[in-house]
Amino acid sequence: MIELIQFPWSPYCLVQRRILEFGRIPHRIIDIPPSDRSLIWKLTRSRYYQVPVLKDGRQVLFETGDNSQVVAKYIESKFSLGLFPERWEGLQCLVWRNIENEIEGLTFRLNDAYYREVVPKDEQLAYLRHKERKFGRGCLDRWLVERQELVAELTEALVPFEQMLGHREYLLDEKPRFVDFDLWGMLANFLYSGRYKLPPIHPKIKVWYARMSQLEFPRRTK
């Protein structure tokens, strides 16, 4: 059985989990504490320490670069979910780079602003230390104070996606592609704390998000 090693609120883990659920793929979720990456370090033979990591039998999959999409492409290659059609090569890469930079850069800050409600209590000190070492002292408290401005920035950054959904059910065409799951994961991270709602000026994204949250791949006939 496939195993997904993750933090529950990680946007990138949420992407892969939703893909597995969409594909009706039997899998097991293994949650690890953010401060203890020893399982990942062991599984990847000291080559990687981030999440998510996918384990399928003896195969261990993890990202090899900022835009590699190794995990999603492995799931696609094994289960043929239609996530990476040839006709959208190149364009999907451009879109997911925007999603994983412009959108994720805002959603993770907004979620982390409420880290005390998301991160287990015994992990909060290590989480705070990790974030402050990367983003500066007081970053989490600053993001909490700035949350209205950050939501406004996110609302503006989502405009192109609202426009794309004005002409079709999914971002690129009549079926969900990888970029749909990628954007869904970033927004699921944004909503994870329960403190936010999707921007009301983007009704098409709201409908699309609800659809993506329940979507399942058609059952294969023998």
- Give me the CATH topology for the region 2-79: Glutaredoxin (3.40.30)
For position 168, what pLDDT does the model report? 97
Instruction: Pick left, alpha or beta for residue 46 (phi over 0 → left; psi -120 to 50 → alpha; otherwise beta).
Output: left
Instruction: Give residues with Cβ within 8 angstroms of 213, minimum separation 6.
Output: 18, 184, 188
Cα separation, 59 vs 66, whole angstroms: 21
Cα separation, 210 vs 140, whole angstroms: 29
Domain boundaries, the chain: 2-79, 86-214
Helix (H) or strand (E) segment spanning residue 27 = strand 27-31
Q: What is the pLDDT of residues 149-204, one digit of tens each?
A: 999 999 999 999 999 999 999 999 999 999 999 999 999 999 999 999 999 999 99
**Alpha-carbon distances, residue 10 vs 58, 97, 221 (angstroms):** 24, 17, 34
Low-confidence ranges of the chain (pLDDT < 70): 220-222
Class of domain 86-214: mainly alpha
For position 14, what pLDDT does the model report? 98
- Give the three-class secondary structure for 81: coil
Amino acid at 215: L
Buried residues in 113-130 as b, exposed as e (16+ CB within 10 A): bbbeebbeeebbeebbee
- Check: CB of residue 1 under 8 Å from CB of residue 26: yes
Tell me the β-bridge partners of 53.
5
Q: How do beta strands 27-31 and 59-61 pair?
A: unpaired
For position 77, what pLDDT does the model report? 95
For position 221, what pLDDT does the model report? 55
Cα separation, 189 vs 169, whole angstroms: 22
CA atoms within 13 A on the CB side of 27: 23
Neighbour count for residue 214 (Cβ, 10 Å): 8
- Give the three-class secondary structure for 30: strand
For position 219, what pLDDT does the model report? 78
